[in-house]
Amino acid sequence: MDVVVLGLGYIGLPTAAMLAAAGHRVIGVDVNERVLQDIRSGCGHVAEPDVRLIANSAVASGNLTVASALPRSANAYIICVPTPTKEHKPDLRYVKQAAEAIAAQANAGDLIVLESTVPPGTVEDIIVRAFETLGKSPDSVHIAHCPERVIPGSIVHELRHNARVIGGRRRLDAEMVRDLYVSICDGEISLTDCLTAELVKVVENTFRDVNLAFANELALLAEAIGVDAWEVIGIANKHPRVNILRPGPGVGGHCIPVDPNFLASKNPFLTELIQTARRVNERMPHVVARLVDEMIAANRTGANIALLGAAFKADVDDTRESPASAVLRLLQERRYNVSVYDPLARDFEYGLCETLECAVSGAEAIVLITDHKLFRDIEPSTLSPLVRRKILIDTRNFLDRERWSAAGFNVRTLGDATPEASYRPKAYSL
Ligand code: SAJ
């Protein structure tokens, strides 16, 4: 089949590469010339090694080529463009541009699949309407929504193995799209209508946001009561039907903090829990800033604070909607000098220090924001001569408390305000 994938980001590029590996002739289209050059030269812009590997072999096989504009014809068009939000409202302009370009040239029988996460109703409002506006019947083509569901950090594995949902305008549309996706997906594929598929995707991320809010609220509650939230979670999670997530400095990424707003903005009176969860999660960077204030206590103005981590979560390079940005802004408002170290991150809007030593030099406090594995290897005793005060604030309960305490650091972990927190033996069973 001749397949066009529009948008060669985290989802579009691996999807295009997997379709090419399955024997389809794929043209990947992206408006960013740098992205196209990186793919052609084999140093793809998506940092995950598996993505790079399959993209390079797809290009080498000749089955994947990239271009800045749509080819004149194809059998299937897969839309993987971003859907950013502005002031909690989705900006669907890229979906609209893609839909209009496809509608202008699609032939009868072509498949048109929207993978981007969108507010429920978008397939009808934008894609179907793009055909109708041009006087073309949307029934002449097969339109469906097949939302991506993969987690950054494990993209290729999840693309292959995750269950998928395909919502078609008609049953036939969903079936035709399934016939294409079985070539890249071993997971169960559920067929439904467009609106249901749109809601499924947004609901999944909203479910996670609500659960993250519960973990974050629990961290604050435990601090107030005077127990260690991490110990509570560890023990509670031994219950066969309890699975509390990990508290943290905030909920980042381009999906989970964004998608609940797709539901809430159109249904404000039916989404109280969802909106409250968002507020709880949005409060977490403020909690971190307050922890810094508490630990620094006096002479805050101009104090140097070193943040470890700019990426929105562990072991990825993506800094979109990262809690690091929110924490940094709040600390700067409080007149701290903030430096950030993250050897994995790219495109961090506030700039990054080249080395850990540079970031912590003269620091009054080190704040762990992102739980990158490589931060575990930091030897705290080597930082001692560089910092002005030995304070560590661990917002993820990630670093080895005992090792940092042994190096003389006063360790404060989010969710554990018990006075003897640094010294208490952990993991004893009751
Ligand atoms: N986080 C915590 N504690 C945890 C787990 C996560 O604080 O216990 C934080 C992370 O650090 C991060 C944020 O939550 O800041 C979101 O991370 P995540 O790993 O939960 O999710 P994403 O954004 O990487 O990917 C999500 C996934 N959705 C679900 O798990 C329901 C993924 O499957 C989706 O495909 C993706 O959103 C998307 O693109 O929609």
How far does Cα 149 stand from its chain's mean position?
Answer: 11
pLDDT tens, position by position, for the chain (430 residues)? 999 999 999 999 999 999 999 999 999 999 999 999 999 998 878 878 899 999 999 999 999 999 999 999 999 999 999 998 777 778 999 999 999 999 999 999 999 999 999 999 999 999 999 999 999 999 999 999 999 999 988 999 999 999 999 999 999 999 999 999 999 999 999 999 999 999 999 999 999 999 999 999 999 999 999 999 999 999 999 999 999 999 999 999 989 999 999 999 889 999 999 999 999 999 999 999 999 999 999 888 899 999 999 999 999 999 999 999 999 999 999 999 999 999 999 889 999 999 999 999 999 999 999 999 999 999 999 999 999 999 999 999 999 999 999 999 999 999 998 765 544 444 444 3
- The question of whether 201 is a catalytic residue gets the answer yes
> Which two structure tokens, joined as six digits, stand for 311?
């990426």
Q: How far apart are the first and last CA of the chain?
A: 60
Of 205, 282, 318, best ligand 1 pocket probe by most atoms within 8 Å of the beta carbon: 205
**Predicted pLDDT of residue 321:** 92
Collect all residues with Cβ–Cβ distance below 8 Å to 144 and sequence separation of at least 6.
111, 112, 113, 114, 123, 166, 167, 168, 169, 173, 174, 176, 177, 194, 197
Collect all residues with Cβ–Cβ distance below 8 Å to 247 and sequence separation of at least 6.
215, 216, 218, 219, 229, 233, 284, 397, 414, 415
Give the ranges where 297-408 is alpha helix by DSSP (H): 323-333, 356-360, 380-383, 401-406
> Which two structure tokens, joined as six digits, stand for 317?
């390079």
Residue with tokens 């097949």: 146
Atom of ligand 1 nearest to the CA of 208: 31
Q: Which of 369, 229, 326, 206 is nearest to 276 (CA)?
A: 206
Distance CA 308, CA 137 (A): 54
Q: pTM value? A: 0.93
Identify the sign of the CA torsion 235, 239, 242, 245.
Answer: positive
- The question of whether 43 is a catalytic residue gets the answer no
**Predicted pLDDT of residue 417:** 85
The active-site residue out of 80, 255, 313, 390 is 255
User: What single-letter DSSP state applies at residue 107?
Assistant: -
Distance CA 430, CA 416 (A): 19
338 HSE (CA, 13 A, CB side): 25
Report whether residue 246 contacts ligand 1, using a CB cutoff of 6 Å.
yes
Of 217, 255, 375, best ligand 1 pocket probe by most atoms within 8 Å of the beta carbon: 255
